[in-house]
C-alpha cells in the first residue's frame, strides 16, 4: 500500500488540479462531477478534498472494476483521473473497458 506523506499533499493537489484545468479548460466548476480512481486511500482523500475546494464534485473508486461501477452509478461524470497502476484492472485496461462501454470521457 502506498502512503502519501503530508508534505507532498500541496504539490499533489496543485498538480492534479492543473492537469484537470489544462486538459479540460471549459469544465465548469460547481457543475462538473469527476471520478478519481486510485488504490491509495490518502491520494483519493487528498484529491477529493483539493478538487472539492476548487469547486468540483468528486466521486472515488479504488480500482478499475470499482471505477466502471461508479461510472454506471453516476452517468453525469464528465472526466476521470486515473492512476495507471491500480489493482484488479490497471489504468490502461480500465480506459479500454470504459471505451468499449461507450464512455468517451477525458482521462487524466
CATH number of residue 52's parent domain:
3.40.50.2300
Residue 69 CB partners (closer than 8 Å, separation 6+): 61
Count up the domains in the chain and report the number. Answer: 1
Please indicate, yes or no, if residue 51 is contained in any of the structural domains. Answer: yes
pTM: 0.77
44 in a structural domain: yes
* 33 three-class SS: strand
User: Considering the domain boundaries, does residue 9 fall inside one?
Assistant: no
* pLDDT surpasses 50 at 1: no
Note whether residue 2 is domain-resident. no
Question: Is residue 98 a part of any domain in this protein?
Answer: yes
Per-residue pLDDT of 38-94, as tens digits, reads 999 988 998 898 888 888 899 999 999 999 999 999 999 999 999 998 988 989 999
Q: Which residue has the cell 485496461?
A: 93
Q: Identify the domain containing residue 98 by its residue range.
A: 29-108
Strand stretches in 21-76, DSSP E: 33-37, 57-61
| Residue range 71-83, pLDDT digits in tens | 999 999 999 999 9
Amino acid at each position: 500500500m502506498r502512503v502519501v506523506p503530508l508534505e507532498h499533499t500541496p504539490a499533489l493537489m496543485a498538480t492534479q488540479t492543473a492537469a484537470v484545468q489544462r486538459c479540460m479548460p471549459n469544465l465548469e466548476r460547481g457543475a462538473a462531477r469527476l471520478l478519481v480512481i486510485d488504490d491509495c486511500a490518502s491520494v483519493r482523500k487528498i484529491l477529493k478534498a483539493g478538487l472539492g475546494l476548487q469547486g468540483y464534485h468528486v466521486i472515488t473508486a479504488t480500482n478499475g472494476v470499482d471505477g466502471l461501477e461508479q461510472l454506471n452509478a453516476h452517468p453525469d461524470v464528465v472526466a476521470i483521473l486515473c492512476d495507471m497502476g491500480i489493482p484488479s484492472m490497471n489504468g490502461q485496461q480500465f480506459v479500454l473497458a470504459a471505451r468499449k462501454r461507450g464512455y468517451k470521457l477525458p482521462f487524466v
